[in-house]
Amino acid sequence: MLTKEEAKLVLETCLETGGDFAEIFLEDTVHNDLELSGGKITKSNTSLIHGAGLRILRDEQEVYGYTNDTSLQGLLTLVNSLKTGFNYDRLAISFDLVETETPNKHQVMINPLNLSNADKIKYLQTVYETAKNYHESITQVIATLWEHNQTVTIYNTEGKIAKDERHHVRLALNVVASKPGIMQTAHDSIGGNIGYELFETRDLVAFAQEVAQSALTMLEAEEMVGQMMPVVIHNGFGGVILHEACGHALEATSVAKGLSVFCGKLGEQIASPIVTAVDDGTLANYWGSANIDDEGTPTRRNVLIENGILKSYLVDKRNARKMKCEITGSARRQSYRYSPTSRMTNTFFVNGNSTFEEIIQNTEYGFFAKRMGGGSVNPATGEFNFAVNEGYMIENGKITRPVRGATLVGNGADILKEIDMIANNLSTGHGMCGSLSGSIPADVGQPTIRVKKMTVGGRGGKK
């Protein structure tokens, strides 16, 4: 374990390169994976992740290095190799390292590290048995527990010592329903920055039944007929549309380089006036939450869009220098192997004034995307795609036939303006978001929304 004096020495040595800022990110993580598949415990793995990332900044320039050798000698060796990338005269910078206390907003009652494998497996068995016994067409069920117990310590030349302990746990369920020649899958998960009390407070049986029913419904669904039409996107994981089509374009990583469609649009109307969007890393025990970001800054609630007007980007320390604006507590990274950059935490549209029922009743003909799958977006053009895992046709104001194989494609900036109804049923879903600084837990969320028109792809032919 690095002492305060050793950390100071490493940082001082970093400054010899002529940097104006240096940072040590130390990580110790115990990662556990458990899998129950086909009635058997097929996976039980433990990995110890341990290492340090060193970062030196000078104005907007950065060098970064990482190693598993976290001894003083190991870190000094790394600083030496960083000097090959950075070589200026030392600046007059002096600092003292002082520990900062951040109140823990994400209390853990049942610490994953104190629970036996046997106790954890009980939760897997509950969802497995429920889904498997739900219907004879359910042919395969896989339940997994993903657990990431991460302790981070950040030291920097602003004199900061900041620590955080995070327990990301997630129970995920995959269900396959089949009949001759056709297999359909459904997926959902429950997760948070929390202990195993999460699974005590949730109705795991109802959760598993819903996932099983979704796979069954899709087994009997017709193929989606591709067309352009009004689309109602349901709450919870439906928020992936905001995350992909808008959130990524508001991250400083693309804004600072002028690569985002939302560059230079602060204060401008970028969305329909009924749209307000927030990124909030402080929400107690949420999947995307933490006490501090990975630069040691306390997380906070950032209003991104208010009544359709762009209010803020998500900004980390280095991009703040480029963009000449303040940091937003949004610097995140998967591990010590990544330099931190601006990322989303828990991102969602806030509640609107309609009800879910009103939205459906007011849609004469359209598509209802009940469960969204993943998607991706090109930040330069804003073009995105999302898979729909469970979809229905809306006809004469009613949800009618289930349809499968639908994909939503469009342009993020256009879609924001096309949202014409927002319900009051906000909820979130749990995803892993991949970007420059790796794969990190992120909540996506929204109330049910309606988009006036969107291209819905599918493989069904014309009727």
Partner 1 sequence: MNYDYLFKRAKELNISEIEVYTEEKAGLDISLFNGVVDKNVMFKTTGVALRGLYNGQMGYVSSEYVDDDKIDYLLERLIDNAKVLTIEEKSFIYEGSENYPEVEERALSFTEVSTWEKVKLLQELEKKIKEKDIRIASVANCMYKETKVTIEIRNSKGLNLKKTDGYCFVYASAVAKDESDVKSGSDYRIVKNFSEINLDKLAESIVKRAVGLLNATPVESKKYPVILENEVFADILGAFQAMFSGESVLKKLTLLKDKLDEQVANTNITIVDDPLCQDAYVQQTFDDEGVSCYRKEIISKGVFKTFLHNLKTAHALNTQSTGNGFKAGLNSPVGVRYTNLYVEKGYTSLEDMIKGTEEGLLITDVQGLHSGVNPISGDFSLQASGYLIQNGVIAKPVTLIVIAGNFLELLKNVEEVGNDLVFTYQQIGCPSIKVSSLQVSGE
DSSP-derived pairing of the beta strands 98-99 and 160-179? parallel
Which one of residues 20, 67, 110, 202 is an interface residue with partner 1 (CB under 8 A)?
A: 67
The answer to whether 407 contacts partner 1 (rule: CB under 8 A) is yes
The answer to whether 118 contacts partner 1 (rule: CB under 8 A) is yes
Of residues 64 and 95, the one with the C-beta less far from partner 1: 64
Q: Are 45 and 33 within 8 A, CB to CB?
A: yes
Q: Are 8 and 17 within 8 A, CB to CB?
A: no
The answer to whether 424 contacts partner 1 (rule: CB under 8 A) is no
CB 376 → partner 1: shortest distance, Å?
A: 6
The answer to whether 31 contacts partner 1 (rule: CB under 8 A) is yes
| Region from 9-17, 114-122, 198-206, 438-446 binding partner 1, contact rule CB under 8 A | 114-122
How far is the C-alpha of 85 from the C-alpha of 82, rounded, in Å?
Answer: 5
Q: Which residue in 19, 103, 126 sits closest to 65, CA to CA?
A: 19
Of residues 48 and 92, the one with the C-beta less far from partner 1: 48
How far is the C-alpha of 75 from the C-alpha of 70, rounded, in Å?
Answer: 6
- β-partners of residue 394 are 366, 399
Which one of residues 387, 397, 420, 427 is an interface residue with partner 1 (CB under 8 A)?
A: 387
Residues 6+ apart with CB under 8 A from 152: 25, 26, 27, 163, 164, 166, 294
Of residues 358 and 383, the one with the C-beta less far from partner 1: 383
The answer to whether 324 contacts partner 1 (rule: CB under 8 A) is no
Which one of residues 19, 65, 236, 247 is an interface residue with partner 1 (CB under 8 A)?
A: 65
Q: What are the C-alpha distances in Å from 463 to residues 16, 182, 230? A: 72, 21, 19
The answer to whether 402 contacts partner 1 (rule: CB under 8 A) is no
CB 113 → partner 1: shortest distance, Å?
A: 12
| Region from 91-99, 175-183, 307-315, 347-355 binding partner 1, contact rule CB under 8 A | 175-183
How far is the C-alpha of 381 from the C-alpha of 116, rounded, in Å?
Answer: 48
Of residues 71 and 107, the one with the C-beta less far from partner 1: 71
The answer to whether 114 contacts partner 1 (rule: CB under 8 A) is no
Which one of residues 19, 329, 391, 410 is an interface residue with partner 1 (CB under 8 A)?
A: 410
Of residues 369 and 422, the one with the C-beta less far from partner 1: 369
CB 32 → partner 1: shortest distance, Å?
A: 9
DSSP-derived pairing of the beta strands 438-446 and 346-349? parallel
CB 259 → partner 1: shortest distance, Å?
A: 5
CB 64 → partner 1: shortest distance, Å?
A: 5
Q: What angle do CA 24, 301, 148 make, to 5 degrees?
A: 50
Indicate the SS3 state at residue 45: strand
Q: Which residue in 315, 135, 123, 309 sits closest to 218, CA to CA?
A: 135
How far is the C-alpha of 52 from the C-alpha of 145, rounded, in Å?
Answer: 27
Q: What are the C-alpha distances in Å from 414 to residues 258, 267, 411, 447? A: 19, 18, 5, 19
- Return the residues of window 243-262 that contact partner 1 according to CB under 8 A: 257-259, 261
Q: Which amino acid is at 88?
A: Y
CB 377 → partner 1: shortest distance, Å?
A: 9
CB 22 → partner 1: shortest distance, Å?
A: 14
CB 40 → partner 1: shortest distance, Å?
A: 5
Q: What are the C-alpha distances in Å from 47 to residues 32, 124, 148, 194, 228? A: 7, 20, 10, 19, 47
The answer to whether 20 contacts partner 1 (rule: CB under 8 A) is no
Q: Are 296 and 152 within 8 A, CB to CB?
A: no
Burial of residue 1 (CB within 10 Å: 0-12, 13-18, 19+) is: exposed
The answer to whether 40 contacts partner 1 (rule: CB under 8 A) is yes
Of residues 61 and 351, the one with the C-beta less far from partner 1: 61
Question: In the stretch 181-200, what mask flags binding to partner 1 with x, by CB under 8 A?
Answer: -xxxx---------------
Residues 6+ apart with CB under 8 A from 178: 137, 139, 140, 184, 219
Q: Which residue has the tokens 């330099």?
A: 339
How far is the C-alpha of 451 from the C-alpha of 228, rounded, in Å?
Answer: 11
CB 388 → partner 1: shortest distance, Å?
A: 9
Residues that contact partner 1, how many (by CB under 8 A): 77
Which one of residues 102, 227, 269, 355 is an interface residue with partner 1 (CB under 8 A)?
A: 227
The answer to whether 51 contacts partner 1 (rule: CB under 8 A) is yes
The answer to whether 456 contacts partner 1 (rule: CB under 8 A) is yes
| Region from 93-101, 117-125, 297-305, 348-356 binding partner 1, contact rule CB under 8 A | 117-125
- Return the residues of window 331-370 that contact partner 1 according to CB under 8 A: 337, 339
Of residues 85 and 273, the one with the C-beta less far from partner 1: 85
The answer to whether 264 contacts partner 1 (rule: CB under 8 A) is no
